[in-house]
Every structure is written in structure tokens, then in C-alpha cells.
């Protein structure tokens, strides 16, 4: 008997993404609808006439990313690939065209080679239909420079802050270039690092995507279980938090006097109580360093199926970013 037999609330492994999307539409018809025949959800009222559209997408298995963020002040479209697999260029092209309200579309892309390539092609396809398209690539993971699936840094939980800021700017009537500019400001000022206590099990594979000893954890893990910076003996939460936070702050060069937004993000299998234990230490560290937390998010924002673990995100904010982060947003997974 293996402890890793697949215990999931699913039917056929190949149907999970399709059935999940149907379940989302059934739960949130006021927020989102599905594009016929596609694994793409868009805002219920898309395209919004005259507004810049903000869209995203990527492999499934990271819920509520991305479709949970569809709604006013956030995303207009979200393409869902198969589990941990990029959406196709066709799906992305259709999504971009469907969301364009005449003011152009900003694509928020996480830095994985498949996503970047398929968004490029999808954007070209939409451009041929006279849609003005811009892209930003999020690469907030400070752990490793290159990784499985990625040249350069991976895009992880900081992406949600890009959604929030770009979505708010678009809702406020910003032009495409302005929406892109604030998205890039977030990307320039955000860093994330994660840890896995356990692997995760994809429905198709039915067994762990990587092996991790019972007494070890992986620091700097990617959201698909890509290797991180090191494997170490399991440590108390405070030590883990110290390690992740120091790496992120060092990378950003965040000093005393800075104002930040933080996210303690659960990887999917970690109880909320533990995320708050991590947040306690995170805020203690920031306070000790004279860094002021303007807002602290704690919860499951970008997950890795049933993986146990968390990531810590820090974004340095200025008045412009604070105003956009505080602006109203209304989606299934995030309401401000």
C-alpha cells in the first residue's frame, strides 16, 4: 500500500479541468461565463465597452488562479490549460479577441516558456483581428534564475498583485499603455519565495510529481514542484519564515522606511491556521527592520493542487500602487 494513492474528489482525470470550469460557472454566474467550446472563462459582461481588458491564463492546478479573479477591477479573461500545462495559443487568441472592448488588451503572463510562447502566438492571432495587445511577463520568484519550464525567474504569487493593480487601472479608465506601466511597476517591485513540505499529485499522473523525504522540505520550490534552492531538514515555522523573508527582502533591497504589501500564500494543502503562524513571524521580522506593512494578505491565492507549504510575497508600494490596491474589486476569490 502506498500512502500516495490518489485521493481526489474527481471523476475521470482527463475531465477535471472541464468539470471544474463548469462548476465555477455554476457557482458564480454573476461573475463569469465560459466561451463556447473553450477552456476559457471571461467576465460575465465581457467585453466591457471602452475599457482596457486585462487577461491572464496558465496551467490549471493553481486555483483560484486565474479564473477566481474574474470581475470588476480585476481580470476580464482567464484561460485554463490542462493541469500544470500552458493553454494553447488558439485558446489564448480567442480569449484576447473576446475580451477586447475596443481599448486593447493587456496579457499578464507568468514566466514559463510554454505560457510565454503561446501568449505570443495568441496575441499575434488577436492582433490580426485588429486587437491592440500588450503583454507583461511576471517573474517574481527570487529563488532560482533558471528552472524546469523557465528561462529566467518563474512567475508565481506576485502575479495576483499585478492582476489587482492592472485591473484597477483599467477600471479607472487608464489607457493600455498606462495599464501596462502600472503592471510593470508591480513586477519591478515584487518578490516571492516558497517552500514545500510535501509534493503534490496531479490527476493525470496520480502520484507525487517529485519525491520529498518525510523529514525534509524543499526551499525555493516552484508552483509545479520544480526544484528549489535546497532541501533541508524540516524546521520550525519561524526558521522557515526567516529564511524565505530574508531572501525576498535581500533581493528587493527593501530597507527600513519602506512600505510593503505582503502575502502569505498557501500551496493548497496547508491549513489556514499555519499560514497565520507564518504571518505572525513575517510581520515581526518586518517590524524589527523598520519596514511598514501597509496591507497583509493571508490565504490560498496561487496553489499547487494539494501541496503543503507556503510562499511569501513582498511588494514595495508607493502612493500610486496603494491607491490601485485599495480600489474596489469584486471577484469570486478577491473582494476589496
Q: List active site positions.
A: 62, 224
Kindly state whether residue 8 participates in binding a second copy, applying the rule CB under 8 A.
yes
Distance separating alpha carbons of residues 100 and 113, to the nearest angstrom: 25
Bridge partners of residue 218, in order along the sequence:
196, 231
**Window contacting a second copy (CB under 8 A); options: 14-22, 36-44, 90-98, 180-188:** 14-22
Query: Computed from CA positions of residues 314, 315, 319, 324, in that sequence, does the dihedral angle turn out positive or negative?
Result: negative
Residue closer to a second copy, measured from CB, 5 or 117: 5
Grid-cell match 481588458, residue found: 53
Bond before 328 cis per omega within 30 degrees: no
Instruction: Write out the binding residues for a second copy, residues 283-302 only, by CB under 8 A.
Output: 283-284, 293, 296-298, 300
Task: State how beta strands 190-196 and 309-316 pair.
Answer: antiparallel
Kindly state whether residue 75 participates in binding a second copy, applying the rule CB under 8 A.
no
236, 246, 255, 318: which one binds a second copy (CB under 8 A): 236
Kindly state whether residue 206 participates in binding a second copy, applying the rule CB under 8 A.
no
Intra-chain end-to-end CA distance of the chain, in Å: 46
Kindly state whether residue 277 participates in binding a second copy, applying the rule CB under 8 A.
yes
Residue closer to a second copy, measured from CB, 60 or 150: 60
148, 232, 237, 327: which one binds a second copy (CB under 8 A): 237
Kindly state whether residue 63 participates in binding a second copy, applying the rule CB under 8 A.
yes
Kindly state whether residue 39 participates in binding a second copy, applying the rule CB under 8 A.
no
**Window contacting a second copy (CB under 8 A); options: 24-32, 103-111, 148-156, 223-231:** 24-32
Kindly state whether residue 215 participates in binding a second copy, applying the rule CB under 8 A.
yes
The answer to whether 88 and 37 have CB atoms below 8 angstroms apart is no
Please state, in angstroms and as integers, the Cα–Cα distance from residue 164 to each residue in 56, 127, 144, following that order: 12, 25, 25
Distance separating alpha carbons of residues 60 and 87, to the nearest angstrom: 9
State in angstroms the smallest separation of the CB of 114 from a second copy. 19
State in angstroms the smallest separation of the CB of 336 from a second copy. 8
**Window contacting a second copy (CB under 8 A); options: 11-19, 88-96, 118-126, 249-257:** 11-19
Query: Computed from CA positions of residues 159, 164, 167, 172, in that sequence, does the dihedral angle turn out positive or negative?
Result: negative
Residue closer to a second copy, measured from CB, 6 or 172: 6
Please state, in angstroms and as integers, the Cα–Cα distance from residue 7 to each residue in 22, 110, 232, 300, 308, following that order: 21, 29, 27, 20, 15
Kindly state whether residue 117 participates in binding a second copy, applying the rule CB under 8 A.
no
State in angstroms the smallest separation of the CB of 219 from a second copy. 13
The answer to whether 52 and 176 have CB atoms below 8 angstroms apart is yes
CA dihedral 65, 280, 317, 247 (to 10 degrees): -80
**Window contacting a second copy (CB under 8 A); options: 87-95, 125-133, 182-190, 265-273:** 265-273
Cell of 155: 512567475
Cell of 101: 472592448
Binding site for a second copy (CB under 8 A): 1-5, 7-12, 16-17, 19-24, 26-28, 60-61, 63-64, 68, 197-198, 213-215, 217, 234, 236-238, 240, 264, 268-281, 283-284, 293, 296-298, 300, 303, 305-306, 308-310, 335
Amino acid at each position: 500500500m502506498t500512502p500516495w494513492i490518489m485521493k481526489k474528489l474527481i471523476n475521470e482525470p482527463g475531465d477535471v479541468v472541464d468539470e471544474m470550469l463548469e462548476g465555477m460557472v455554476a457557482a458564480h454566474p454573476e461573475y463569469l461565463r465560459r466561451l463556447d467550446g473553450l477552456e476559457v472563462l471571461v467576465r460575465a459582461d465581457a467585453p466591457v465597452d471602452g475599457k482596457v481588458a486585462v487577461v491572464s491564463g496558465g496551467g490549471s492546478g493553481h486555483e483560484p488562479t486565474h479564473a477566481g479573479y474574474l470581475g470588476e477591477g480585476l481580470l476580464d479573461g482567464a484561460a485554463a490549460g490542462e493541469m500544470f500545462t500552458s493553454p494553447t495559443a488558439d485558446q489564448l487568441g480567442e480569449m484576447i479577441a473576446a475580451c477586447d472592448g475596443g481599448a486593447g488588451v493587456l496579457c499578464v503572463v507568468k514566466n514559463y516558456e510554454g505560457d510565454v510562447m503561446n501568449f505570443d502566438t495568441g496575441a499575434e492571432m488577436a492582433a490580426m483581428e485588429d486587437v491592440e495587445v500588450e503583454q507583461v511577463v511576471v517573474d517574481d520568484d527570487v529563488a532560482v534564475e533558471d528552472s524546469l519550464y523557465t528561462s529566467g525567474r518563474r512567475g508565481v504569487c506576485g502575479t495576483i498583485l499585478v492582476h489587482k493593480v492592472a485591473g484597477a487601472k483599467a477600471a479607472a479608465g487608464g489607457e493600455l499603455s498606462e495599464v501596462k506601466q502600472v503592471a510593470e511597476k508591480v513586477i519591478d517591485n515584487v518578490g516571492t519565495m516558497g517552500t514545500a513540505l510535501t509534493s503534490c499529485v496531479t490527476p493525470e499522473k496520480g502520484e507525487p510529481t517529485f519525491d520529498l523525504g518525510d523529514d525534509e522540505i524543499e526551499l525555493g520550490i516552484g508552483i509545479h514542484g520544480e526544484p528549489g534552492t535546497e532541501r533541508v531538514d524540516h524546521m520550525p515555522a519561524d526558521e522557515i519564515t526567516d529564511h524565505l523573508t530574508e531572501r525576498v527582502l535581500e533581493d528587493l533591497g527593501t530597507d527600513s522606511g519602506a512600505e510593503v504589501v505582503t502575502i502569505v500564500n498557501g500551496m493548497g494543502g496547508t491549513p489556514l491556521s499555519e499560514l497565520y503562524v507564518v504571518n505572525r513571524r513575517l510581520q515581526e521580522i518586518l517590524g524589527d527592520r523598520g519596514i511598514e506593512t501597509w496591507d497583509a494578505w493571508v490565504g490560498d491565492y496561487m496553489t499547487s493542487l494539494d501541496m503543503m507549504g507556503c510562499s511569501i510575497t513582498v511588494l514595495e508600494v508607493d502612493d500610486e500602487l496603494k491607491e490601485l490596491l485599495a480600489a474596489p474589486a469584486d471577484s469570486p476569490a478577491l473582494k476589496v
